[in-house]
Amino acid sequence: MENKRPIIQFEKVAIMQGKNLVLRDVSFQVEKGEFVYLVGRTGSGKSSLLKTLYAELPLSEGQAEIVGQDLDAIQPHEVPFLRRKLGIVFQDFQLLTDRSVSENLLFVLKATGWKNKHEMEARMEEVLRLVDLKTKGFKFPHELSGGEQQRVVIARALLNQPELILADEPTGNLDPETSVEIMDLLNNINFYGTTILMATHDKHILDSYPRRTLRCEKSTIIDLSKS
């Protein structure tokens, strides 16, 4: 029988940044295959929540599970295994500027345990094709537009065929036309089954691509579909 557990489940979670309480009493879930937005003012806790999901910030209290991993009991040596199940898309790209696109992807594959040269080359070619950059592997980040760099970041996130993509303001540094291209790409990825949780403050995106929305507000998370 198929496992119907949510891909993300939080129950009465508290999140700290150092000694500061950022979010409290956080309870929500995301089902497999969903595309969910995370919204809220700057400083409301969106990035802290995402960091908790990929185990950069620990839980202070409560229970949380992501892609089958209990975050309240995760050990340091288990974090790399968790992150292999996730694709993470950052607003500021975080590409290695002294390496080509292909070398950026190769770095991640090696870091996540790939060994076979032919399999690595085939996977890099496949993800670059998926993001429509199959002829750009030799280029360096500074030779690409902002939209192309974000496509590389998405390609990098797809390398290990993640069950879930966490996207932190992926259109935040892009012009409106390029933002639409990135959203069309993310929607296509979601269409083929990958779950996406995306933090954004872009009202045009929210209006143009309506999805279930979680709001960081008053130090907690509110599901706007239930309000």
Distances (CA, A) of 91 to 52, 78, 168, 174, 179: 17, 26, 6, 9, 12
For residue 71, what are the β-bridge partners? none
Identify the pLDDT of residue 1. 42
> Taking the domains of the chain in order of start, what are their residue ranges?
1-85+162-227, 90-159
Cα of first residue to Cα of last residue in the chain, in angstroms, is: 33
Distances (CA, A) of 30 to 35, 67, 87: 9, 10, 16
In the β-sheet with 35-39, what is the strand arrangement from edge to edge?
Answer: 86-89, 164-168, 195-199, 35-39, 212-217, 220-223
Helix (H) or strand (E) holding 101: helix 101-111
pLDDT along the chain (227 residues), means of 10: 78 90 93 95 89 90 93 89 88 85 93 90 94 94 92 92 93 88 93 94 91 93 83
Q: Which CATH number fits domain 1-85+162-227: 3.30.310.50, 3.40.605.10, 3.40.50.300, 3.90.1150.10?
A: 3.40.50.300
Under DSSP, the state recorded for 193 is T
pLDDT tens for residues 11-37? Answer: 999 998 888 889 999 999 999 999 999
Task: Specify the amino acid at residue 215.
Answer: R
pLDDT tens for residues 151-169? Answer: 999 999 999 999 999 999 9
pTM over 0.85: yes
